[in-house]
Amino acid sequence: MEGMAAILYEDRLGCLENEIPQKSQDYIAALHLMFSSFKMTMYAGAIPKWLRTIIPRPWEEFCSSWDGLFSFSQIHVDKRLGEIQDLVSRGEEVKGGLLTHMLVTREMNLEEIYANMTEMLLAGVDTTSFTLSWACYLLARHPEVQQEIYEEVTRTLGHGTIPTADDVPRLPLIRGLVKETLRMFPVLPGNGRVTQDDLVVGGYFIPKGTQLALCHYSTSMDQDNFPGADDFRPDRWIRKDATDRVDNFGSIPFGYGIRSCIGRRIAELEMHLALTQLILSINQPAVFPDRKQP
């Protein structure tokens, strides 16, 4: 959350401080309510409007958590807007990232900017943190893989280095680790599309306008797509040479096409760097040669 907010709001939230500021704490509570009431969200969507007066709770909780998230974004967007206005009034140059760009170009109105910032922060927090948790879990369960990655990272970067984006292409196993983690534990269980044309897929006729649901988990654990699909093998994603293609449509955790995940590059970079740092912080390689993996 701290990382995503630094990118999106161009500001720090203080989540890594000993005393977390109250506003950030309130946001965490709203986010928690949002996810803990995810079941409620399903009900909120399923309950027709006329029934909301009789069963009001899911809809009320849904709205109140969104209000909490929006007001948090509003505080940060308004703060940056104020800073930009100050710079402009002093005749100084305005420099910044995505939010600054949105505020300066005004291709979106303020309401739309609040909404985009809220959506992106919401989409960027649990996705990356859950994937990092699964990656740590998988490394802990497979010390031999952990050792292999440890050797790659320390050989390439050496101890005491702070990895940067430029180092990532030199760490194929770290990239494989993230891909393999998302193959085995895709954050979003599925994806949806509505067909734009009549199609024939796998011998089935699918008329235009059909709503399709794709289950990531079933395709990414399918033996036909990934031989030894139950095995945790980050090295399956390493290219053997320049002609080798390891792209595999059996695993598309970020979706595909024009509506695929807009945060993919940020998410991948954040996870690559966090895992590299974590591996570098290991003082002693964790190899237990005698231990059989369950």
Beta carbons of 11 and 5 less than 8 angstroms apart:
yes
Query: SS3 of 206, please?
Result: strand
Question: Does 73 sit near ligand HEM (CB under 6 A)?
Answer: no
Query: SS3 of 184, please?
Result: helix
Beta carbons of 74 and 114 less than 8 angstroms apart:
yes
* Candidates 47-55, 60-68, 120-128, 238-246; binding stretch for ligand HEM (CB under 6 A): 120-128
Least CB distance from residue 118 to ligand HEM, whole Å? 10
136 is in an annotated binding site: no
Closest to ligand HEM by CB, 128 or 276: 128
Least CB distance from residue 91 to ligand HEM, whole Å? 33
Least CB distance from residue 6 to ligand HEM, whole Å? 12
Residues 149 to 188 in contact with ligand HEM, rule: CB under 6 A:
182, 187-188
Residue of the chain from 171, 254, 275, 280 that contacts ligand HEM (CB under 6 A):
254
33 vs 37, 64, 126, 133, CA distance in Å?
A: 6, 9, 13, 21
Residue of the chain from 263, 273, 279, 280 that contacts ligand HEM (CB under 6 A):
263
Question: Does 124 sit near ligand HEM (CB under 6 A)?
Answer: yes
Least CB distance from residue 93 to ligand HEM, whole Å? 26
Residue 204, classified by CB atoms within 10 Å of its CB into exposed (0-12), middle (13-18) or buried (19+), is exposed
Residue of the chain from 96, 143, 250, 255 that contacts ligand HEM (CB under 6 A):
255
Beta carbons of 154 and 148 less than 8 angstroms apart:
no
Question: Does 267 sit near ligand HEM (CB under 6 A)?
Answer: yes
Neighbours of 80 (CB within 10 A): 20
Residue 265, classified by CB atoms within 10 Å of its CB into exposed (0-12), middle (13-18) or buried (19+), is exposed
Task: Tally the C-alpha atoms within 13 A of residue 193's C-alpha that lie toward its C-beta.
Answer: 15
Q: Which residues of the chain form contacts with ligand HEM (CB under 6 A)?
A: 119-120, 123-124, 127-128, 131, 182, 187-188, 191, 253-256, 259-263, 266-267
Residues of each annotated binding site for heme? 261
Residues of each annotated binding site? 261
